Amino acid sequence: MKKIILLGYMGCGKSTIANKLSNCIEIPFVDLDKKIEEKANLSINAIFEKHGEIYFRKLEHQLFVELLNSPETLIIGLGGGTPCYANNHELLKEKGVVAIYLKASIDTLFNRLSLNKSKRPLIADKNDSEMKEFIAIHLFERSFYYNQAQYKVVVDDKTIDEVVEDIITILA
């Protein structure tokens, strides 16, 4: 069965877009971060604090594989780091997988993340100038993995509906 995967940096809008897309095309949406939180019975922040990032990445990989192997057609929203660890980027190319990179500029990501960083352990303690530099470097490092996606949708200056329309066109 088909898996539609939305990926991209923190703050690119994966969950918001996936929710709207799910309503439009009537395919259930599963948020990988939520799956991880349910499995660990802890928030993402608490998992990082209590068990560390390596534990988080193992769980992330395990649950991503489980979702890919599930018999249902699903929209899966990845975490920003998912494609960059445990060879997860190779899984994006599997049969039946449609992977879409939601591409946002550094400025877009900075503007969105500066309003909403407390639940994101990688940036929670950074001030504005540290965060801008962090995003620039991190996005550059991660781009190789994000670009493994079959499709790319630029999200800068687009409404949620416009991005969803772009995705529906890809899927048609």
Stretch that binds ligand S3P, among 19-27, 96-104, 117-125, 144-152 (CB under 6 A): 117-125
**Is 112 labeled as ligand-binding?**
no
Kind of pairing, strands 97-103 and 3-7? Answer: parallel
Stretch that binds ligand S3P, among 73-81, 92-100, 125-133, 143-151 (CB under 6 A): 73-81
Rg, the chain, Cα only: 15
Does position 152 bind ligand S3P by CB under 6 A?
no
Question: In the range 38-57, which residues lie near ligand S3P by CB under 6 A?
Answer: 44
Stretch that binds ligand S3P, among 17-25, 65-73, 77-85, 154-162 (CB under 6 A): 77-85
- In sequence order, the 6+-apart residues with CB closer than 8 A to the CB of 2 are 73, 96, 97, 98
In this chain, which of 5, 13, 33, 158 binds ligand S3P, going by CB under 6 A?
33
CA 76 to chain CA centroid, nearest Å:
9
- Residue 27, CA atoms < 13 Å, CB-side half-sphere: 18
Give the torsion sign (CA, 28, 146, 2, 39): negative
Task: Tell which residue, 64, 77, 67, 75, has the closest CA to residue 25.
Answer: 75
Classify residue 121 by its DSSP letter. Answer: T
In this chain, which of 4, 18, 64, 79 binds ligand S3P, going by CB under 6 A?
79
- The nearer residue to ligand S3P, 81 or 103, going by C-beta atoms, is 81
Does position 80 bind ligand S3P by CB under 6 A?
yes
C-alpha to C-alpha distance for 60 and 70, rounded to whole angstroms: 15
In this chain, which of 37, 97, 121, 143 binds ligand S3P, going by CB under 6 A?
121
C-alpha to C-alpha distance for 67 and 51, rounded to whole angstroms: 23
In this chain, which of 21, 81, 103, 153 binds ligand S3P, going by CB under 6 A?
81
**Which residues make up each annotated binding site for ATP?**
11-16, 120
**Which residues make up each annotated binding site for Mg(2+)?**
15
Binding residues for ligand S3P, rule: CB under 6 A, are 10, 14, 33, 44, 79-81, 120-122
